[in-house]
Amino acid sequence: MAYDLGKNLDSEIERSILLKTLTPAQVEELFPPYPENLPVILPQFQVGKAVSTADVFSPVSGVNNIISALESITKPMTALEQLLGSTTGVGIGSNSWVISGQQTTTGKPILANDPHLAVQMPSIWYEVGLHCTPKSADCPYNVTGFSFAGMLGVIVGHSERIAWGVTNVLSE
């Protein structure tokens, strides 16, 4: 799911292939790190030392086999993108919005959430409900929504009082 949301699988494959013929410094020049003087989402966290390509990629036996495997992965991905159209570009990302209860006939707000995940088989989402029977102070759960296989809880969903969703801005 991280590759689906991040959309950087192509960049990672491209970096690996370029390292076959370029030095790590040349590849770093083609893929510069995010500038330290630009805004970040969590400014209270200090930005650590940028990881160098030289730190990550070191000569290993069989690297040419890995490169060949990565090159073979890109061919079907490119063919699929040509068939379905590009999933990158301006306007791609998750959406969430809320209509104020002052604008609805019930007086309650409406949440709309679309995390824009690619179609997958099997689906990464499964519908889940966590209900206590009977509901009490010791067992207060009454939520319904969607989760990921193997995850506890409801990632996108609602209770009788509140609704929640998730969004993501695609980045490389």
Q: Is residue 32 part of a domain?
A: yes
List, for residues 87-143, the tens digit of each pLDDT value. Answer: 555 555 577 888 999 999 999 999 988 877 777 778 888 899 989 988 899 988 899
| pTM for this entry | 0.50
The tokens describing 89, both together, are: 């570009």
170 lies in some domain: no
Dump pLDDT digits (tens) for 35-72: 878 777 666 655 555 555 454 444 444 555 666 666 66
- Is the same domain home to 16 and 41? yes
Contact yes or no for 170/88 (Cβ under 8 A): yes
Are residues 111 and 75 part of one domain?
A: no
Contact (CB, 8 A) for 6 and 169: no
Is 145 within a domain? yes
Q: What residues does 99 pair with on adjacent strands?
A: 110
Closest CA to 156 of 132, 125, 133: 125
Q: Quick one: 50 and 109 in the same domain?
A: no
Please identify which residue in the block is written with the tokens 């990158």. Answer: 88
- Which residues constitute the domain of residue 75? 2-84
Burial of 28 (0-12, 13-18, 19+ CB in 10 A): middle
